[in-house]
Amino acid sequence: MLLVSDFPEWFLVTTAVSLGLVFGSFLNVVIYRLPRGENVAFPGSRCPACGSPIRGYDNVPVLSFILLRGRARCCRARISIRYPLVELAGGLFAWSLLDLLLLDRAGDTPFGIGAALFAAYLALGLGLIAAAFIDVEHMVLPDEITMGGALLGVVTAPLRSDLAAVASAPWAGTLAPLGAAAVAWGDSVFGALVGFLGIWLPFDLLYRHLRGRTGMAQGDAKLVMLAGAWFGWPGALFALVAGAVQGTLGSAALLLTRGRIEEPPAVREERAALRAAIEAADGEERAALQAELDGDPLGTEPDPGALQTRIPFGPFLVLAILEYLFFGPALVARYLDWALP
Ligand SMILES: [Zn+2]
């Protein structure tokens, strides 16, 4: 049987990091197109400034940005630093994942299982990175990522829990670092249910009844459900608590350094575009568009005053979920040691 250790470490690292960089480059397309309702696969990459197609040799992750000194070849427009940063995040995440799942383990993982495991967690991490950036820019967490990611967590739980069940296998050393991160299928479904019933549903009902519209917390609740699907109810609880603490600290830091938190420009533009469409339409179409605006939690300007500021919660939740993936089991063990001496 082909084992992960049959391959030299430099080969595994190079392959993983290259995959992470290339998918990170694709993430930039996802971050731009998904919230705008465009197809993420076609057409190929285009310059965000002038729309010219980008050639393959100008689309090499990170390297092209450095060689072109941060400007597009077609029209010399400035390229946002976000592009190479997202690519780097993809590469770094893939490397950390390889280290967590497969490298430096006492035993050997069969290559097929290792590759499937790596692919599943890579998809999770890339989806979370995309969700964080989309939320910062548009204050929206797309269902494709939150619901799709939760589904992936439930579907891959048997693969991940099989690993836990065969902890006595010779390559069981691979499992130790995963700890709580490897959950049984039942725990995965239960964790997702806790996220759904305990957070999403109450938030949704509350907002509908109090405000007459669905809450903007809905996407955040779905993200907590995703954490439950991947890591069981302790993962959902950790994401919620750590996310809230980090969100509070983050908002406080932003308020202290900037004085106030501005709404992202894209949110203002989307609201303005919808209002313009309402002005231009009439009859049934106008009523339908007006209903869309009324039902949109971002449909009105934020109330003035720092404490009413809208701040995306998604990035803080994403951070908490990634923390749980890499450090969760160790953190929980430390906490239990301290709380239950
Ligand atoms: Zn251009």
Single-letter residue type at 21: L
pLDDT tens, position by position, 310-338: 678 899 999 999 999 888 777 777 777 78
Ligand 1 mean position, distance from CA 115 (Å)? 38
Single-letter residue type at 68: L
Nearest-CA neighbor of 29 among 49, 44, 14, 8? 44
Ligand 1 mean position, distance from CA 58 (Å)? 12
Q: How far apart are CA 235 and CA 225, in angstroms?
A: 9
Ligand 1 mean position, distance from CA 48 (Å)? 7
Backbone φ/ψ region at 184: left (φ over 0), alpha (ψ -120 to 50), beta: beta
- Six token digits for residue 225: 């459900």
pLDDT tens, position by position, 251-276: 888 888 877 667 777 777 888 888 88
3-state secondary structure of 110: strand
Ligand 1 mean position, distance from CA 270 (Å)? 23
Share of the chain above pLDDT 90, in %: 26
pLDDT tens, position by position, 277-320: 888 888 888 888 888 777 776 777 766 554 445 678 899 999 99
Q: For the chain, what are the domain ranges?
A: 20-92
Ligand 1 mean position, distance from CA 80 (Å)? 13
Q: What is the mean pLDDT of residues 235-248?
A: 88
pLDDT at 233 over 70: yes
Per the listing, tokens 């590469």 go with: 91
